Amino acid sequence: MKVIKVSSLVKNYGNTKAVRDISFSVSKGEIFGIVGPNGAGKTTTIECMIGLKKPSSGSITVLEINPSKQRSDLFERIGVQLQEASYQNKIKVWELCQMYSSIYKNPIDYEVLLEKLDIADKRNSYYGNLSGGQKQKISILLALLHNPEIVFLDELTTGLDPKSRRTMWEYIKKLKADGRTVILTTHYMEEAEQLCDELCIVDQGKIVAIGSVAEVIDSCSLDIVTSFNSENEDLETLISSVDHVKGVERLNGTYNVYCSNERAISLIICLMEERKVSYTNLNITRPTLEDAYIKLTGNVIKEDGNV
């Protein structure tokens, strides 16, 4: 069942075309990623989906609601974490939870959520004194207070240290396990690969690839790299003759073999066993989402999300 449908979404700011014709749909219970560098149109897309921005053209339905028309109905059913949004510095965590609980018709007990997110020990701390990771936990908590069916997370892990980022991944997986649909944006390819059931890669306001992680990687027909060390200096011709091998190179005693199909790997190994060629440090590197992204856009995204 599709819970979100976005078709031909276009959003212009004056002469700037932030989103140019984006379409996708999201099934109930999946984690859907909108992946790309800063300025690709991720946040604009999400803000159109939750009705904070009005699309220039195109249509969006979320839980069969038109987000720009039935705001308060929608926000009773979806939870939102906004990029860079924050709360009053001098407000205590429990006061913030209580205030946000009062906003919703049927809030769940925030004490339970504080426990679930391992942040109950901070309930009397000022929001402004929390670490980046703790602040993001609070933003997840406030997005879950009304037990929403869909959770939108915009750049949840940006700026967090690797350990906190991994903690967030666990919470996102739990959201899915609870039966919620999750829409997230990220510029971390590793994060998208770890979490997303379906994703679209956006670049300059357009979708350049869409599907499951495996489908997106497969669509790029990238090579699998098999490497090993061997004293034997003339394996290049032998290995090149194997089916699906596209290239072989030898650097300082290490062979790198580029294969278009993983069946080539077992053929190579069999061949070397047959010829009694000794090899060590056998290593198979499959293409990652990052490789796919680079192939698709010709760009590399830096840690800060810029290209």
Partner 1 sequence: MSRLLAVTKVEIKLFFRNFYSVFFGFVFPVGMLLLFGSIYGNEPSEFMNGYGSMDYSVPAYSCMVLAVTGLMSLPLTIADYRDRKILKRLMASPVHPSQLLMSQLIVNLLMTMVGIFLLIFLGVVLYNVKFMGSLLPMLLAFLLTTLSIFSIGLLIAGLMPNGKAVNLVSYLIYFPMLFLSGATFPMQMLPDSVQTVAKFLPLTYGVRLMQGVWLGNDLSGYGLEIIVLVGILVVCSSLALSLFKWE
H runs (alpha helix) in the chain: 42-49, 71-77, 93-103, 110-116, 132-144, 162-177, 189-195, 213-219, 236-240, 263-274, 289-297
Q: How many residues bind partner 1 (CB under 8 A)?
A: 24
Q: Which stretch binds partner 1 (CB under 8 A): 102-110, 166-174, 212-220, 265-273?
A: 102-110
Q: Is residue 80 involved in binding partner 1 (CB under 8 A)? A: yes
- Provide, rounded to whole angstroms, the least separation between the CB of residue 58 and partner 1: 20
Contact between 99 and partner 1 per CB under 8 A: yes
Helix axis angle, 162-177 relative to 132-144, nearest 10°? 10
CB count in 10 Å sphere of residue 226: 22
SS3 content of the chain, % helix, strand, coil (to 5): 35, 30, 35
Nearer to partner 1, 77 or 116 (CB): 77
Q: Which stretch binds partner 1 (CB under 8 A): 86-94, 117-125, 176-184, 222-230?
A: 86-94
Instruction: Considering only the C-alpha atoms of the chain, give the largest distance between any 2 of them, rounded to a whole number of Å.
Output: 74
Min. distance of Cβ 7 from partner 1 in angstroms? Answer: 23
Does 76 bind partner 1 (CB under 8 A)? Our answer is yes
Enumerate residues 6+ apart whose C-beta is below 8 A from 33: 184, 185, 186, 192, 195, 196, 198, 199, 200
Instruction: State the binding string over 151-190 for partner 1 (x if CB under 8 A, else -).
Output: ----------------------------------------
> Is 16 one of the binding residues for partner 1 (CB under 8 A)?
no
Is 170 in contact with 191 (CB distance < 8 Å)? no
2 alpha carbon, distance to own chain's centre: 19
Among 102, 106, 237, 252, binds partner 1 (CB under 8 A): 102
Examine residue 112 and tell whether it contacts partner 1 (CB under 8 A): no
Contact between 291 and partner 1 by CB under 8 A: the answer reads no
88 binds partner 1 (CB under 8 A): yes
CB-CB neighbours of 82 under 10 Å: 17
Q: Which of residues 38-67 bind partner 1 (CB under 8 A)?
A: 50, 52
Summarize as ranges the residues that interact with partner 1 (CB under 8 A). Answer: 50, 52, 71-72, 75-76, 80, 82, 84-88, 90-91, 95-96, 98-100, 102-105
